């Protein structure tokens, strides 16, 4: 009888111990789930909507900003990415998917994404939408969660023009070309204000060094077509252009210059955009420029993490939900400087020009020129009254083709 009692007590002790262990494990599991769920709720989910993939330099630049964002904030954020997204409904669907995944900050990067982005900003007021290159932040309805941002790329174009002008000056001094042969070509994507502003800034940069320079522009009517861009660059070279620049996404123009120089003995050099071209045009690529999207992307993300207004955090110069900056805050960069072929004194001239931009000492769009809006011949601007680019918005608005000195060819 006494033995049975001992056995009964021991059995219950084992049962009690087992139950205690199981309860402890369960409590730990429950606590872990609760804590991890709480931690996940504090993670900021960030979405990116790209109009292409990393086969294009334009997307590579945004992808670089995305990667630097991830490096900067680590496990505080979680990034979702949509590639090759078109305009309209395609963009809306991509954004809808990101919102469903819990994204509270979404970046869209193509000008064509603007309308869809703003529409979705109306639908989801709790989400912050940042649209690069857009111009709808000052347009009704004004939404506190819809933002535009863009670097003042006309500054970079102008500096690249100075680099090209220095090379033209060297070619003239060395007898390679005559002064009346100072002719530059430009492979342009579309007849948009952004593109026109860019090639005009480049041209005025060239003219700051060689005042006799003239320019020929050819539109591809596409952002990214290697074959067409190379073809148009070849046509410009055959017309006598000795420096080719571009606002297009492929290395086609740079390759055209390299082949024309090495295979046909042409005197020609190139100035690129968004990427260094020295790998494909080592003997003819002078330099490139690009917008550095990272400062805005980092600033906007930190602002949302801290619950602050984005424009105050990134020091916007506008009263709207828009932001821009240039060399002064690292939003514009000169890249791919090919020191082997730069004209003597170029580095000093580059440094001096950038310093003046930082000190607000250069107004690009001015001079004894008459500009005509290609969409409205009655809209004329006399540049003796300087045009202040990006004064009221981050997206370029200079949309005037300079008479007699810039020729647009079909």
Of all residues in the chain, the percent with pLDDT exceeding 70 is: 90
Rounded to an integer, what distance in angstroms lies between the CA atom of residue 130 and that of residue 128?
A: 7
According to CATH, the superfamily of the domain at 44-149+294-323 is: Response regulator (3.40.50.2300)
Cα 59 to the chain's mean position, in Å? 8
- Whether 27 shows a pLDDT value over 90: the answer reads no
pLDDT for 86 beyond 80: yes
Rounded to the nearest integer, the mean pLDDT of the chain is 91
pLDDT at position 221? 96
Task: With CA atoms as reference, report the closest residue to 325 among 350, 296, 354, 353.
Answer: 296
Predicted confidence (pLDDT) at residue 335 exceeds the cutoff of 90: yes
Domain 153-292+331-409, what fold?
A: Rossmann fold (3.40.50)
pLDDT of residue 160: 98
Q: How many residues does the chain have?
A: 410
Identify the pLDDT of residue 361.
Answer: 81
pLDDT at 45: 98
Of 20-34, 208-222, 236-250, 387-401, the least confident:
20-34
Q: What percent of the chain has pLDDT over 90?
A: 88
Give yes or no for residue 40 having a pLDDT over 60.
Answer: no
Indicate the pTM of the whole model.
0.89
What pLDDT score does 41 carry? Answer: 60
* Mean pLDDT across 375-393: 97
Contact 82, 59 (CB under 8 A): no
Segment 187-205 shows an average pLDDT of 97
Check if the beta carbon of residue 204 is closer than 8 Å to that of residue 214: no
Are residues 261 and 285 in contact, defined by beta-carbon separation less than 8 angstroms?
no
C-beta atoms surrounding 406 within 10 Å: 20
Domain boundaries, the chain: 44-149+294-323, 153-292+331-409
pLDDT of residue 139: 94
d(CA 83, CA 301): 20
Q: Measure the CA–CA gap between 194 and 340, rounded to whole angstroms.
A: 31
pLDDT at 136 over 90: yes
Domains 44-149+294-323 and 153-292+331-409 share a fold: yes
């Amino acid at each position: 009888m006494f033995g049975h009692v001992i056995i009964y007590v021991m059995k219950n002790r084992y049962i009690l111990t087992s139950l205690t262990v199981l309860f402890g494990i369960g409590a730990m599991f429950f606590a872990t789930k609760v804590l991890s769920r709480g931690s996940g709720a504090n993670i900021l989910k960030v979405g990116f909507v790209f109009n292409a993939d990393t086969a294009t330099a334009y997307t590579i630049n945004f992808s670089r900003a995305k990667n630097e964002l991830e490096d900067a904030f680590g496990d505080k954020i979680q990034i979702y990415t949509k590639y090759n997204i078109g305009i309209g409904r395609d963009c809306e669907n991509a954004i809808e998917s990101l919102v469903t995944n819990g994204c509270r900050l979404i970046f869209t990067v193509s000008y064509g994404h603007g309308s869809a982005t703003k529409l979705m900003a109306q639908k989801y007021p709790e989400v912050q939408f940042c649209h690069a290159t857009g111009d709808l932040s000052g347009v009704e309805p004004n939404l506190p969660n819809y933002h535009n941002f863009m670097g003042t790329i006309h500054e970079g174009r102008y500096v690249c023009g100075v680099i090209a002008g220095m090379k033209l000056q060297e070619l003239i001094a060395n007898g390679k070309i005559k002064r009346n042969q100072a002719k530059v070509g430009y492979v342009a994507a579309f007849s948009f204000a952004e593109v026109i502003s860019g090639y005009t800034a480049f041209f005025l940069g060239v003219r700051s060094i060689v005042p006799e320079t003239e320019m020929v522009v050819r539109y591809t009517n596409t952002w990214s077509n290697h074959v067409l861009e190379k073809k148009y660059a070849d046509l410009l070279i055959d017309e006598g252009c000795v420096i080719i620049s571009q606002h297009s996404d492929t290395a086609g123009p740079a390759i055209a210059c390299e082949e024309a120089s090495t295979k046909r003995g042409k005197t020609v050099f190139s100035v690129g955009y968004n990427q260094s071209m020295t790998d494909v045009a080592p003997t003819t690529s002078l330099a490139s420029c690009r917008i550095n999207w990272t400062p805005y992307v980092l600033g906007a993300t930190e602002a949302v993490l801290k619950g602050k207004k984005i424009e105050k955090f990134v020091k916007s110069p506008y009263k709207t939900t828009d932001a821009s900056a240039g060399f002064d805050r690292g939003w514009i960069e000169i890249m791919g400087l090919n020191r082997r072929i730069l004209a003597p004194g170029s580095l000093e001239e580059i440094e001096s020009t950038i310093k003046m931009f930082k000190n607000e000492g250069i107004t690009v769009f001015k001079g004894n020129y008459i500009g005509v809006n290609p969409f409205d011949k009655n809209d004329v601007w006399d540049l003796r009254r300087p045009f202040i680019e990006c004064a009221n918005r981050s997206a370029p608005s200079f949309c005037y083709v300079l008479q007699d000195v810039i020729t647009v060819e079909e």
